[in-house]
Each structure stands twice: as C-alpha cells, then as structure tokens.
Chains A and B, each alone.
Chain A
Amino acid sequence: MVRFLVGRVLQTVLSMLVVISIVFVLTRLSGNPIHLLLDVNATERDQEILTRYLGLDQPLPVQYAIYVKNLARGDLGQSILSRRPVAEHIWERLPATVELGFVAMFLSVLIGVPLGVYSAVRRGGIMDGAARVFAVLGQSMPTFWLGLMLILFFGVVLGVLPAGGRGGLEHLILPAFTLGYFTSAAILRLTRSAMLEVLGSDYIKFARLKGLHEQVVLWKHGLKNALLPVVTFAVMLFVQFLGGAVVTETVFAWPGLGRLILESITTRDYPIVQAGVLVLSALYLTGNLFVDVLYSYLNPRIRRAGA
C-alpha cells in the first residue's frame, strides 16, 4: 500500500509539472497583456516600461525558470492586472467555488441516488421511464439555457429566489441545481445500473430468503455495495465542479474561481491563469489519488490484488 501511495504521489507531481508547463506556454501564445493595461494612445516608451516592470521582456525560458523557482518557494506570483499576490485572488474566490461545488454535489447525490435506486427497483415501470427521461434531459440540456430558464421562472415570474449574485443560502439554490442537474442525471444512471447488478446477485437473493424486510435488503445490503462507484464518482464530480463551473458562475454572476480564470484569460493575466489551473489540477489529481486510495480501501478485492 505504501509503495502504491508513493508511486501515485510522484505520478501526481509529475503530471502537475507537465500541466503548468503547457499552461505557461499557451498563455503566452494568447497575446500580450500590455495592450489591455495601457490606453490605446500609450507611447512605445510606456509599453517598454511596463513590459520591463512585469518581466515580460525576458526570454521565455528565463521567465519559465523564474516561475518554477518561485513556485517551489510557494510563491504563485503577482497578478499582472492588480499587481497583488495571486494567492490573494485565489483565496478570495475559492470559498465561493467550494461552496457552490459542495452544494451542487450534495444536490446531485440527493436527487440521483434515491431516483437511481427507485428506478432500478421499479425497472420497466412508469417511474423508471420518467427517471430515465429526467436523466436524458439532464445530460443533454445546456447549462447556460437551464440556468437562464430557472432565473426567469423562479427569479422573475415567481419572484421566490434571487436572480443572481452571491449571498445567503437562497442565492445558492438555483446555481447549485443548474450545476448539479447534469451530474445528478449521471449519478442516477450509475446508481441504477449498479443497483441492477447488485440486485441480481446471490447474496441479495439470500437476504430475501432469510426473510429480511425489503427496505433493509435494498438500502442496507444492496445500496451499500452499489454505492462504491457512485461515491468515487461523486468525489471526482466535486473536483470537476471547482473548475468546470465557469458557465454557471457567469450566468448567475457567482464570483468563483472558474470566472476568475476565464476573466484572466480574457485580460491575459498569465499568473492568475497559471495559478488557477495549477490549483485545479492539484485538486483534480489529489482527488483522483484519494479516490484510488478510497476504492482500494473499500474494496478488499482490489487491496488483495495490489498486495
């Protein structure tokens, strides 16, 4: 197990190095931020001074070396736009993203798991059909459109929920549902197929033969085993939400990390883009690692196979 962990950690670090290198190069290919920092009437001298101040006059390998050196010291650099530490910007936005991601994941599981179980148990019935339509709609409906429709209906027509921005719990409901609907559909389908597999197994038949109540068979014996892939999927979902919520954050004017990265790409604020991608990659790779460890811990067969 220890060898497995060490190997995975090293793999994670290497992957992150590759990611930041690619992002470093790609951001610089996207254009020069000087043109957005200065007025169109700025002189060549103004451009020179600012370019030098930002260190953008250095050759690319030198800029890269400085960046990696600072990164090793835990310094994410300074924002080109604000000239404040990048870490400050990331910390400012991360809580909003974590909040949204967490609630979205919670809603996904809350909707997807019970519906998936019910759909598996009532396979072929009307409710199964309805649940599957729900799942197809969730996976095909554009987030952008869904978000705007929810704002229109709940925010404008009914006036019961805020139309945008971050605030109390009521501000979270619509963006979290918008973000979570797509994944609740995926969780529903995953739970349904896992449950169908489990419900057909011998130990479930035995549990029924023992005379156990059907609810105990389903929720205690059946779901516990069917949940394994769902839990690991949910963890990856959460990590995905952290970086992939940019459309939802834009529609709902939610001040999260995804929007920060998008705005930084538009304004060529390289250090924030690099740091944002680094943070998200780290979270994703760590999440992946955590899932692998969790899976091998929960599933004795994998532990024994790895031993």
Chain B
Amino acid sequence: MSKHGAIKLSTLIITALLLAAALSASEAARPEGTLTVAVATFGNERWLPHLYVGAEDIVLKPLWENLVSRDPKTGELIPMLAERWQVTDGGRTWKFQLRKGVHFHDGRELTAEDVKFTFSSIAREGSANSLSTEFRLIKSMEIESRYAITIHFDKPSVVFANKVNQGLFASVAFIQSKSSIESAGEDGAERRPIGTGPWKFVEHVRGDRIVYEAVEGHWRATPNFKRLVMLKVPEPATRMAMLRAGSVDVIEIGGEYVDELKKVGVRTLTMPNVAWVYVILGGQWPTKPSYDRAVPWAQPDLERARKVRLALNLAVDKNAVMERVMGNLGSVTGSWLAYPNDPWTTDALKNPYPYDPARAKALLSEAGYPKGFDVTMNLTAWPGRGYLPDVGEAVATYWEKIGIRVKRRPVDRAVFAADFRARAYPGVTVAYASPVVGPELWDNLIRISHSKAAVQLFIEHPKLDDFLDRLATEPSYDKRVKIMRDEMGPWMYDYVPAVAIGAAHNIAAVGPKVGDWPLIPGHMGFHNWEYVTRKP
C-alpha cells in the first residue's frame, strides 16, 4: 500500500471510530424508560403559585425551578434560574441577574417579568402559598432589564435567597410564566401547567397520578429517564409491596419499616437531618388572651414552671423513642431545632437532657405536684411525618410512669391547625417535627415562635423575640452564627422550652433500576429527579 493510501485508510478508520463514539454517546445521553414513584399524598394538587401551600413540593419540583438552589455535596447556594445575585443595603436590596435563553415548555423565554408576576401572585391577598407572609414584606420590585430584577424591602431580609431556593423543602417560589397563565387563564393553567424544569407536564389524574416527560436538551440537565410517573398510594404496606413486586421504583416510607426493608434486601437512601422532633408544651404565651396561668409548665412562677418542663424531659427515654419508634433514623440531641453539624451547635448544646425518672418525680414534687397532674396529648400526623402519633404515645407512656395522668386525643391536622393560629391549646401537648425550611435555625424559629408569628408551635418569650429580631436583621453570617451559638442556643437549653427528642432523618426505598441519586442535605422531600441515574 502506498503512503498516500495508508494515510487515507487511517483517516477513514479514525473518522469511523469517532463517529461511532459520538453516536454511542448521544444514544447514552437520551432518556429512556420510566421512573415510577409511589408517595402517600400529593398535597392539595394545585399548580398556580397562590394556590399551592408547600406540602406539594415533592410533586412540583420536577416541573419548575427556583432562582437559586443548593449544592448536594456542600449545601451552599448555587445559581439556578438566576446566574448571579447581589445583596446590598444591609439586606434591603436584592438584585437577580437571570440566565438568558431559558425557555418555558411552551417555548416562551423566561424574563424578569415572569419573576415579578410570580412573586406578586405569591404575595396576593388570599394566597395559600406558605411563603405569602414573607413575600408581602417586599416593598417594591423593579425590572431593570429583560433579565434583571431588583427587589426592595423596608427592613433587611438577610436570607431572602432561602425563600427562592430549590434546595429547601416547601420553598415553593417556582418561577411561572406570566404570559402563559394570562393567555390560558387560571383554569387552563391549572389543567396544563407550564414550567422551565427538566420535566414537562403530561397528565394529572387527581388523587391517582401525575405524569411527566423528560425535556431533552434541557439547559441544566436532561433526565436519564424518559418518563416520571408519580402515583398516590396512601397505604405504606401497599407501597412496600409495589416496590418489592417491581411495580414502582421509589417509595417514601417511614423509619418504622427500616428493619423490614433490610430483611428483604431493599436498598434505602437516607436524607439526614430533615426535621427536628419535640413535644410542644402548649400554653406558653403569657401575653395572649388564651393564656392559662394554671398550666403547670406555663405558670407565672417561672422557677416552678421550669422544674415541670425539665421533669417532663427527664421522664422520657429519648434513645428508646428514637430507636423503637423512629427506627433509629435520627439522633437524640438537646440543641433545640439545631442539627449536629450546624456551626451554631456546640458539644454542650448537643447533650440530650438525660433519662432520669427518679429526678423527674423529685422535680415535680419540688414544683408542687407530688401526685402529678392531668394533661392531654394530641396525637396528630403531619405530611411526611407519620411517626408523630407514635412518638406522642411513647412520651405519654413515660409521663404516666412518673404520675402524670395523660388523656390521649387523636386529632386531625386540619382541626389542630385552627388551634395553632388561635393559640387555643393551653395545657395540651403534641409531638411535632419542624422541617428545615431555612438553613439557619432562627429562620425556622421565627415562623413558629415569634410572638408576632401567625402560629405558635413552640414558646413565646420576649428574650426569644429579641434574639429573632436581631438575627433577622443582622447582615453578617458570622455574627448570626455567634448569636445563635453563644447566646440563643444556651438560653434555650437552659430554659427547656419543650420536650426534646432530636434530629430526624427521612428515607426513600429504591428498586434495582435506580442508580445514583444526589440528594441535598437537609431537604425533607424527594427532589433532583433529573439526576437519578439508570442502572442497566
């Protein structure tokens, strides 16, 4: 063969090899197959920003995107629909520069108008959105250009990025298309929702299923699966059977099933530190009309009240509760609503209140209750936290051992929600798990424990109000950490506001089709479906 011929042949071979490689790469990139997920609830099954509450997070995240997200490895803020952002004036001004060339599923390009429209919808009167009260703090929004919007607040909003963050549970400020909603009307937009996410809407049968299809060539990530089907399966035993039978690939399941899943060899993924479990001691709101001074743990004699609260803590074997009721999915800790790896959690704060029933009885006697007292324990389940009635039952049993007479009362969440708002449950206790709705402790507390908050799920105290007010307006992250670590944390530990159980994890059980799945730390629900890889 001549030299020229050899070169020609080599070129042909190399070209053929490169072409084959390119073809196989593009084949590998194409989404394939169906990922089927069984969940207990779809929430209210609404699609417009002023109509969904936030519990729908799990079924809305495939379709939509927020301005920012969080890195699955570090938990740090990362860009999403916003390429970059700037915080000035001590947190009173936030400027977002949007990514160019992002399109909604109907082809319309995302612009600053869509952001303004979405935030206005969330803030409107009568809005059901869990972020409505925070978005109503927005003083004004300026559209600087097609892709830039500036948001102004009267008072500093130092963690506004957490409200527009894909990487947090119930952070549901998903950006929706102004023109699509206006042209389709609300009814049309509810029936065929449009988003910018890596999955587009196919079908929604209320109470049964939601079907999505992969958006190929999505700006962020083309999913590995062609279809994502979410099924509503209320019964956990049925979800487990469907997973084992291969009818579904992912199920949400409670910690109480962990041992059973291990026995049958089902793989589980843990979402660590997603909620903080405690038993609320209702009635600690001395300035409100519904305050009842006869409630032992909320009485005007602060020292006696504290002894009662401490006794209620010492009476409970939290390790046993964590192990037997919550399947060891969590860690017992005394750091109120703060997690073991948080920078504001010290070793001292992590120390759980010990299990010491003898001392608990002695403290009750000292406080003036040698024969105990009567209390009601509401047993209420919350979405994604079905173990709570069992936690309440376990705690009630421990209290009975030190002479407290506990009346159990199964109460529907809807009924109890009215009580939270009205502070109408003095003297009532209930096990609750506060999910992580902001990466900083105070951001969670301010919603449920400030005296001006719409609900009361913890305590009211002027000192706590003061901490929260300072933290909400402190622009320096390091200073906020210092306040939480050195001042607020130790104060709460000493005050003993409730009965501490600790940090809880969530688990997902997955089938053989599911490969890697990067989950964001602290995010309670399922998410990042587009990054789930397929096992052959």
Q: Name A's B-contacting residues (CB within 8 A).
A: 31-33, 35-43, 45-46, 49-50, 53, 81-84, 89, 92-93, 148, 151-152, 155-156, 159, 162-166, 250-253, 255, 259-260, 263, 266-268
Contact = CB atoms under 8 A, between A and B. Distances in A.
Contact of A163 (B54, B129, B245, B417): B245
A266 B42 CA distance: 14
Nearest to A144: B235
Closest 6 CB pairs of A and B: A49-B126, A255-B208, A39-B130, A35-B417, A163-B245, A253-B233
Contacts of A81: 44-46
Interface residues of B, number: 46
A36 B417 contact: yes
Contacts of A259: 207
A162 B234 contact: no
B397 interface: no
Contacts of B133: 41-43
Interface string B439-460: 0000000010000011100000
Contacts of B209: 255
Interface of B: 38, 44-46, 53-54, 125-130, 132-133, 187, 190, 205-209, 231-235, 237-238, 241-242, 244-247, 412-415, 417-418, 420-421, 447, 453-455
A39 B208 CA distance: 23
B184 to A, nearest CB: 15
A33 B414 contact: yes
Given A45-B125, A49-B125, A92-B205, A164 B417 contact: no
Contacts of A38: 53, 128
The residue in B129, B207, B232, B417 that gathers the most chain A C-beta atoms within 10 A of its C-beta is B207
B533 to A, nearest CB: 25
Contacts of A151: 237-238, 241, 245
21 contacts: A31-B412, A31-B415, A33-B414, A38-B53, A38-B128, A39-B128, A40-B455, A45-B125, A49-B125, A82-B45, A82-B190, A82-B206, A148-B237, A163-B238, A164-B238, A165-B233, A166-B208, A251-B238, A255-B208, A259-B207, A267-B44
Contact of A156 (B46, B234, B245): B245
A149 to B, nearest CB: 10
B37 to A, nearest CB: 12
B128 A42 contact: yes
A41 B454 contact: yes
B247 A46 contact: no
Contacts of A32: 414, 418
Given A46-B125, A253-B238, A266 B412 contact: yes
A148 B206 CA distance: 24
Contacts of A35: 414-415, 417-418, 421
Contacts of B128: 37-39, 42, 46, 50
The residue in A39, A156, A255 that gathers the most chain B C-beta atoms within 10 A of its C-beta is A39
A40 B231 CA distance: 26
